[in-house]
Amino acid sequence: MTTLLLFSLLLSAPAAPAPKPRVALLVLDTADAGAVARVETILRLMPEVHFLSEAEFPAERHGALRTTLKTVAEYPDPLVRAVIEKQRLSLRLDRWVILTGRGLFVQEAGEQAHGPYPVPGPRGAGLSEGFLDKVQRSVTPVSRPAAVVTPPFYRNWLFWTGVGVIVGGLAAMSLISRDPGEVEVHVFHR
For residue 13, pLDDT over 80 is answered with: no
pLDDT reported for residue 144: 55
Percentage of the chain beyond pLDDT 70 is 81
Distances 116 to 9, 49, 76, 105, 134 between C-alpha atoms, Å: 49, 20, 10, 5, 12
Task: Report the candidate in 13, 186, 35, 161 with the shortest Cα–Cα distance to residue 97.
Answer: 35
59, amino acid identity: A
Q: In the predicted model, what is the mean pLDDT of residues 61-86?
A: 88
| Residue ranges of domains in the chain | 22-136, 153-177
- Average pLDDT in the chain: 82
CB atoms within 10 A of CB 38: 20
At 143 the three-state DSSP class reads coil
CA gap 123, 38 in Å, rounded: 8
Residue with the bigger pLDDT between 138 and 21: it is: 21
Condensed to tens digits (0 to 9), the pLDDT of residues 136-175 reads 776 555 555 666 778 888 888 999 999 999 999 999 998 8
pTM for the whole structure: 0.63
Q: In the predicted model, what is the mean pLDDT of residues 63-77?
A: 87
Task: Report the candidate in 30, 20, 50, 53 with the shortest Cα–Cα distance to residue 38.
Answer: 30
